[in-house]
Amino acid sequence: MTTILTITRYRTFAIPFAILSMAIFHIPLFFSRKIKFYKLMGCGKNGTFDKKPDLHQWVILSNLDETPMTNPTVDGLLMSIHPFIKHWLCLLGKETFIIILKPVAGHGKWDGQAAFGKIEGTLPEVGRIATLTRATIRLNKLKYFWNHVAPVANKMTTAKGFVFSLGIGEIPWVKQATFSIWDSVADMKAFAYGMREHQEVIKKTRKENWYSEDMFVRFTVEASYGQLHGSNPLK
């Protein structure tokens, strides 16, 4: 299985079309035989959990049962997701950045589904690693979540080995996820398990039952194409 994370920044005049795409794109993705799982999501500002959405930036996460073509282009990868989506984004998008990922470890479910199938891989000893942490937050725990998680997320961007991150979600404030890329497994683990504030938040989520559902997946970073804010953030 190959996971493709597609991040598109829309032109200002096209923001209404970006919002509309979150409904329209369900149709071609749902009926595509190549797509095994997908999610359409908005983004928070500043690359982390944020109550304020970035209305210019939107995300498609898709799992394909095939390996992308050799030496692909952004247009070619968008075509592999769906021709309609490719033409929509080329017409209305300002920039598109695509990350090719391979799930290697994880647990939990996404809307009741084993989104990445049966993951059978090993964490690489060298090379970049990506993590996706998502949760459906109980409505009566929203205040606690945002009070505790946002400060930790803000510290992530200054941690050793941090490369890139996105705050993403299907439903504002309730169904939230963070995607991050690190220079190595060691750097990722140092932040996840070595930071006292982060460990305290993890303990609180379990003790106080903040989530009705959660999931944590690690990926190897296979390749990236296109640009975001004028450049490829992974280079």
In a domain, 130, yes or no: yes
**Residue 98 maps to which CATH number?**
3.30.70.100
Work out the angle at residue 230's Cα, subtended by the Cα atoms of residues 224 and 232, and round it to the nearest 5 degrees. 20
Nearest 5°: phi and psi at 69?
A: -60, 160
Percent of the chain at pLDDT exceeding 90: 51
In a domain, 235, yes or no: no
In a domain, 32, yes or no: yes
In a domain, 186, yes or no: yes
Which residue range is the domain that position 15 belongs to? 2-226
In a domain, 233, yes or no: no
Per residue in 192-221, pLDDT (tens digit) is 887 777 777 778 888 888 888 999 999 999
Average pLDDT score over residue span 52-78: 85
CA of 88: how far to CAs of 10, 20, 74, 177, 212, in Å?
11, 11, 13, 25, 35
In a domain, 234, yes or no: no
In a domain, 87, yes or no: yes
Beta bridge partners of 226: 97
Total count of domains within the chain: 1
In a domain, 231, yes or no: no
Per residue in 93-135, pLDDT (tens digit) is 999 999 999 999 988 889 988 888 877 777 877 889 999 999 8
Per residue in 4-57, pLDDT (tens digit) is 999 999 999 999 999 999 999 999 999 998 899 999 999 988 777 677 889 999
Distance of alpha carbon 100 from alpha carbon 95, whole angstroms: 17
Distance of alpha carbon 233 from alpha carbon 235, whole angstroms: 6
